[in-house]
């Protein structure tokens, strides 16, 4: 049987898989529906300002995984970058995540780390046992004032749902610090590819055994023509949405161009529900090693994802889990295909996790091939997420 495999999608997952399989001796055909590689990480120069734009919204690479960090640095030059997010609430500007400066600014205090921890602890709603939803998690963590100022309105806009309709797990990913550390991430390795993510992905795909077809959709029926097919597109799309569509949130971007500096930072969140957009990203601040006289920003609007829209965030609510289980069962009954990546497994994945999982999936595939064992349809179970 041929040593040729197919990959649907030329994002981070598809690119890393393709490179690893090519280096393992396979011929790899990569099919990408868009006219560019890198998926939602795609970057491109704005012709008016010269600024490197994150076309589908900001992406900052951060990880504690040494292997992943070494891998991306082997394919592109990374510059140090610290994500320092600001937020507007109640007509004032604060730092995020909530930290000692945020607490002191918001309450007009000069609290020490211990004093702030005790103070916020006194605000927490202790009557809440195990939080059942996002709102209860926030109220138990920081109390009503901070919840209403920074979380309630932003969450309503981002998800189109009240926080009490969302799982508590969403908020558990957001830190609260009792120090003046305003680095949004706590990982050891943080940076930006100097020439952008699209250049990075192009370099990963630059192998003589990899053929990339842009603007081309891979039909699921093509699986029979290959030794194996890796599907990093939407899980429900593989089955032509036969059971209905898995829900996602999508984003719309409204550009703003100006001379000089527009907002003085890369990301400004707008926490009040009266402001229709969730945040403004000023892209020249993502490349502080560059100098530009003009600037470009994008206001981000979140809404439900419909047919033809770009899916960004899976909506993992209890009522959707049954539909996901049914699609997962269909996938597990499909031979010769593995479902990978953010869309293929219907999970929210950071870029470093996508790289790490793609490296592991390639290794597992080669091991199965050598052992004559079945290749799993899922290397990471979406239902167990």
Region 164-170 average pLDDT: 85
Residue 160 lies in a domain: yes
pLDDT digits (tens, 9 = 90+) for 131-165: 999 999 999 999 999 999 999 999 999 999 999 99
Element of type H or E holding 88? strand 85-89
259: annotated active-site residue: no
Q: Which residues in 258-286 are b (16+ Cβ under 10 Å) and which e?
A: eeeebbebbbbbbbbeebebbbbbbbbbb
Going by C-beta distance under 8 Å and a sequence separation of 6 or more, which residues neighbour residue 13? Answer: 232, 340, 341, 342, 344, 354, 355, 357, 358
**Contact criterion met (CB below 8 Å) for 214 and 35:** yes
Identify the pLDDT of residue 1.
Answer: 46
- Is 348 one of the annotated active-site residues of the chain? yes
The answer, yes or no, to whether the previous bond of 164 is cis (omega within 30 of 0) is: no
Q: For the whole model, what pTM was predicted?
A: 0.95
For residue 165, being part of any structural domain is answered with: yes
Asked if residue 283 lies in contact with residue 50, where contact means CB atoms within 8 angstroms, the answer is no
Q: Per-residue pLDDT averaged across 163-188, rounded?
A: 87
- CB 180 within 8 Å of CB 100: yes
Phi, psi (deg, nearest 5) at residue 233? -80, 180
Asked, for residue 115, whether it belongs to a domain, the answer is yes
Active-site entry in 23, 125, 181, 350: 350
Catalytic residue list contains 177: yes
Q: Give yes or no: 300 in active site.
A: yes
Identify the active-site residue in 135, 136, 236, 300. 300
Question: Is 172 tagged catalytic?
Answer: no
Q: Is residue 90 pLDDT above 70, yes or no? A: yes
What's the distance, Cα to Cα, between the start and end of the chain in Å? 35
Answer yes or no: is 97 within a domain: yes
Residue 129 lies in a domain: yes
Q: What is the pLDDT of residue 167?
A: 85
Catalytic-residue membership of 350? yes
Please say if the pLDDT value at position 185 is more than 90: yes
Among the listed residues 114, 173, 224, 370, the single catalytic one is 173
Structural domain total, the chain: 1
Q: How far is CA 288 from CA 147, 264, 266, 283, 285, in A?
A: 32, 12, 10, 10, 5
> What is the predicted pLDDT for the residue at 381?
74
Range of the domain at 104: 85-172
> Of these residues, 249, 316, 342, 347, which one is catalytic?
249
- Model confidence at 342, pLDDT cuts 50, 70, 90, reads very high
Average pLDDT, the chain: 95
Strand 248-259, strand 267-270: pairing: unpaired
In-domain check, residue 149: yes
Q: Length of the chain, please?
A: 385
What integer is the mean pLDDT of 55-68? 98
In a domain, 157, yes or no: yes
Looking at the chain, the whole-number percentage of residues with pLDDT higher than 90 is: 90
- Find the helix packing angle between 113-123 and 100-107, rounded to 10°: 60
Residue 271 resides in a domain: no
């Amino acid at each position: 049987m041929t040593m040729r495999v197919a990959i649907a999608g030329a994002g981070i997952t598809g690119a890393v898989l393709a490179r690893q399989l090519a280096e393992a001796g396979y011929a790899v055909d990569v099919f990408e529906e868009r006219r560019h590689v890198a998926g939602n990480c795609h970057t491109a120069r704005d012709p008016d300002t010269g600024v490197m734009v994150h076309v589908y919204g900001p992406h900052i690479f951060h990880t504690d995984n040494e292997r992943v960090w070494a891998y991306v640095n082997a394919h592109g030059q990374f510059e140090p970058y610290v994500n320092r997010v600001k937020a507007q609430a109640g007509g004032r500007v604060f730092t995020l995540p909530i930290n000692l400066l945020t607490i002191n600014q918001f309450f007009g205090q000069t609290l020490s780390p211990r004093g702030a921890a005790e103070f916020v602890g006194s605000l927490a709603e202790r009557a809440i046992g195990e939080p059942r939803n996002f709102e209860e998690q926030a109220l138990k963590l920081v109390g009503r004032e901070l919840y209403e100022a920074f979380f309630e309105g932003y969450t309503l806009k981002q998800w189109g749902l009240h926080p009490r309709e969302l799982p508590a797990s969403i908020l558990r990913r957001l830190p609260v610090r009792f120090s003046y550390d305003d680095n949004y991430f706590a990982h050891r390795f943080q940076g930006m590819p100097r020439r952008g993510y699209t250049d990075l992905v192009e370099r990963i795909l630059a192998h003589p055994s990899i053929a990339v077809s842009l603007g081309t959709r891979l039909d699921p029926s093509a699986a029979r023509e290959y030794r194996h097919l890796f599907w990093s597109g939407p899980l429900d799309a593989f089955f032509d949405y036969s059971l209905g569509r898995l829900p996602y949130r999508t984003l719309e971007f409204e550009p703003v161009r100006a001379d000089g500096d527009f907002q003085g930072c890369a990301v400004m969140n707008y926490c009040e529900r009266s402001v229709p957009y969730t945040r403004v990203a000023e892209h020249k601040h993502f490349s502080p090693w560059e100098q530009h006289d003009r600037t470009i920003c994008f206001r981000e609007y979140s809404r439900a994802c419909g047919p033809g829209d770009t899916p960004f965030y899976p909506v993992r609510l209890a009522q959707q889990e049954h539909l996901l289980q049914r699609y997962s069962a269909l996938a597990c009954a499909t031979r010769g295909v593995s479902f990978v990546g953010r869309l293929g497994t219907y999970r929210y994945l950071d870029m470093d996790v996508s790289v790490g999982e793609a490296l592991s999936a390639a290794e597992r595939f080669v091991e199965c091939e050598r052992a004559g064992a079945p290749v799993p349809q899922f290397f990471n179970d979406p239902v167990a997420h």
